[in-house]
């Protein structure tokens, strides 16, 4: 069992990274027969990438273009026995710009999750991760909002249990803690606590699943506090071995409180002061998560839509609608083409601010397999956003093109 208690700051990241490294490098040295009747594997990889970006900060004015090189080593670790399962990943992205060297950075990604089968019916789970990147990376994908570029550190810790009530029914209870910190003062640090339960029922045909998920999330930042209550019902249906449908929908109720600055006139119209006043909002909303995936001999495709409440770097709750498509086609034994695209509509959930924007991204790519383990990838990405809150230059875009050489080294096993 891996169950980590909440902590914050750099100490949490160091502990998580230390645990992951210990698992990856020291577990092979331990050989108790009762524990090591298991499968252990390591999968190292390396990517070398050269890129041109015509708007490296995704700005709506004074755009900067530059060339950059990225080196990305990574390592996956898996351990599986009759009772214990552990998955760990470590990844590093080293970015070096040609002209704008002050943007040189190192992104870090650590993840550790595990499961311990306590009894035949009861399993305990735990998870922890640390990400160090910028607001133009994963946060843009999460919210669809283009924010002022700053380094971001995110810490995630959680755990719970899964209990199999019968052959066709199961119940899960999970707690998840997330803390997000930004460098500088342009964005607002925040944290969240989520408790969720999931009931899953397999129908008599032994193929379809019905899912019911109540949850509660508490968001806390320097400018707002949000209580979010939700209930989601889901349906999973495999039409065949190659076509799968997932459909979830539900409702949420949100209570928000935030500080709003207002003008207090002392001697109109010349003398005034700004005072902070606590405001309160509450509203209902609906949730959705739909996906349809098809797999064929030479191609795969997935289309989907999701609507959910999230939290942005402005320190307030936001409502996000996202449409997405991913397609992959095997041209021949060496060439493979891929297309990913997404469309976001994001707006504020309260009156604290007036976020209202549209974001679109499309990325076609083609890869060539040099050998069984080495491949060459050529890709282009176009992203554009329309921010209705701006007085001018509301519409702006970003073009990137890159060539990467990917190495997938042989998987190391120890059984």
CATH number where 107 lies: 2.40.160
Tell me the pLDDT tens digit for each residue of 110-126: 999 999 999 999 999 99
pLDDT at residue 30 above 60?
no
pLDDT at residue 186 above 90?
no
- Give the pLDDT of residue 14: 53
pLDDT at residue 312 above 90?
no
Residue that wins the pLDDT comparison between 4 and 91: 91
The total number of structural domains that make up the chain: 1
Of 40-49, 228-237, 260-269, 341-350, least confident by mean pLDDT is: 260-269
Which residue shows structure tokens 């060339």? 67
Quick check: is 261 in a domain?
yes
pLDDT at residue 40 above 70?
yes
CB atoms within 10 A of CB 271: 8
Quick check: is 211 in a domain?
yes
pLDDT at residue 5 above 90?
no
Distance of alpha carbon 380 from alpha carbon 134, whole angstroms = 21
pLDDT at residue 22 above 90?
no
- CA atoms lying within 13 Å on the CB side of residue 169: 4
Whether the Cβ atoms of residue 127 and residue 112 lie closer than 8 Å to each other? yes
Q: How confident is the model at residue 7 (pLDDT cuts 50, 70, 90)?
A: very low
For the CA atoms of the chain, what is the radius of gyration?
Answer: 24
Residue that wins the pLDDT comparison between 268 and 321: 321
Quick check: is 1 in a domain?
no
- Give the pLDDT of residue 402: 98
Task: Take residue 285 and report the two structure tokens written for it.
Answer: 């909303």
- Give the pLDDT of residue 389: 82
- Give the pLDDT of residue 392: 83
Which residue shows structure tokens 């968001």? 219
The mean pLDDT value of the chain amounts to 87
Tell me the pLDDT tens digit for each residue of 278-291: 778 888 999 999 99
- Give the pLDDT of residue 272: 64
Which residue shows structure tokens 């970006």? 53
Whether the Cβ atoms of residue 206 and residue 190 lie closer than 8 Å to each other? no
**Average pLDDT rounded to a whole number, residues 236-244:** 95
**Average pLDDT rounded to a whole number, residues 332-345:** 97
Quick check: is 196 in a domain?
yes
Quick check: is 3 in a domain?
no
Quick check: is 4 in a domain?
no
Tell me the pLDDT tens digit for each residue of 124-155: 999 999 999 998 888 888 889 888 888 999 99
**Average pLDDT rounded to a whole number, residues 323-346:** 97
Task: Take residue 274 and report the two structure tokens written for it.
Answer: 């700004």
- How much is the pTM? 0.84
**Average pLDDT rounded to a whole number, residues 374-401:** 93
Q: How confident is the model at residue 35 (pLDDT cuts 50, 70, 90)?
A: very low
Tell me the pLDDT tens digit for each residue of 66-97: 999 999 999 999 999 989 999 999 999 999 99
**Average pLDDT rounded to a whole number, residues 221-232:** 92
Tell me, rounded to whole angstroms, the distance of Cα 331 from its chain centroid.
Answer: 30
Q: How many residues does the chain have?
A: 415
Residue that wins the pLDDT comparison between 3 and 395: 395
Q: How confident is the model at residue 324 (pLDDT cuts 50, 70, 90)?
A: very high
Quick check: is 155 in a domain?
yes
Domain that holds residue 342: 9-414
pLDDT at residue 266 above 80?
no
E strand or H helix at 235, and its extent? strand 224-238
pLDDT at residue 34 above 70?
no
- CA atoms lying within 13 Å on the CB side of residue 237: 8
SS (HEC) of 317-363: EEEEEEEEEEEEEECCCCEEEEEEEEEEEEEECCCCCCCEEEEEEEE
Quick check: is 2 in a domain?
no
Task: Take residue 168 and report the two structure tokens written for it.
Answer: 């066709």
- Give the pLDDT of residue 352: 65
Whether the Cβ atoms of residue 363 and residue 379 lie closer than 8 Å to each other? yes
SS (HEC) of 251-287: EEEEEEEEEEEEEEEEECCCEEEEEEEEEEEEEEEEE
The DSSP code for 5 is: P
């Amino acid at each position: 069992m891996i169950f980590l208690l909440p902590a914050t700051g750099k100490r949490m990241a160091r502990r998580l990274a230390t645990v992951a490294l210990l698992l990856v490098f020291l577990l092979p040295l331990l050989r108790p027969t009762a524990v090591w009747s298991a499968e252990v594997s390591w999968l190292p990889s390396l990517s070398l990438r050269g890129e041109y970006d015509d708007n490296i900060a995704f700005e709506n004015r004074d755009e900067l273009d530059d060339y950059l090189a990225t080196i990305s080593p990574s390592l996956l670790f898996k351990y599986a026995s009759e009772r214990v399962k552990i998955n760990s990943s470590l990844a590093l992205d080293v970015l070096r710009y040609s002209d704008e060297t002050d943007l040189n950075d190192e992104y870090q990604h650590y993840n550790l999750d595990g499961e311990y089968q306590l009894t035949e019916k009861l399993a305990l789970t735990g998870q922890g991760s640390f990400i160090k990147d910028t607001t133009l990376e994963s946060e843009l994908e999460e919210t669809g909002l283009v924010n002022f570029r700053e380094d971001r550190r995110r810490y995630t810790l959680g755990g719970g249990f899964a209990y199999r009530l019968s052959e066709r029914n199961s119940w899960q209870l999970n707690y998840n803690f997330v803390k997000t910190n930004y460098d500088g003062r342009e964005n607002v640090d925040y944290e969240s606590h989520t408790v969720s339960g999931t009931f899953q029922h397999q129908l008599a045909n032994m193929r379809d699943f019905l899912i019911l998920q109540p949850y509660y999330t508490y968001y806390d930042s320097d400018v707002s506090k949000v209580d979010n209550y939700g209930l989601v019902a889901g349906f999973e249906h495999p039409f065949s071995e190659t076509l799968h449908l997932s459909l979830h929908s539900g409702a949420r109720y949100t209570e928000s409180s935030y500080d709003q600055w207002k003008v207090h006139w002392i001697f109109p119209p010349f003398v005034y002061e700004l005072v902070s006043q606590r405001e309160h909002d509450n509203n209902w909303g609906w949730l959705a998560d739909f996906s349809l995936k098809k797999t064929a001999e030479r191609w795969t495709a997935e289309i989907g839509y999701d609507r959910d409440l999230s939290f942005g770097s402005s320190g307030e709750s936001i409502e996000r609608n996202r449409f997405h498509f991913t397609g992959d086609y095997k041209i021949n034994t060496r060439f493979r083409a891929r297309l990913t695209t997404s469309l976001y509509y994001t707006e504020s959930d309260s009156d604290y601010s007036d976020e209202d924007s549209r974001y679109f991204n499309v990325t076609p790519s083609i890869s060539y397999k040099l050998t069984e383990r080495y491949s060459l990838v050529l890709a282009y990405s176009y992203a554009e956003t329309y921010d209705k809150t701006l007085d001018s230059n509301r519409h702006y875009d970003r073009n990137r093109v890159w060539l990467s050489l990917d190495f997938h080294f042989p998987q190391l096993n120890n059984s």
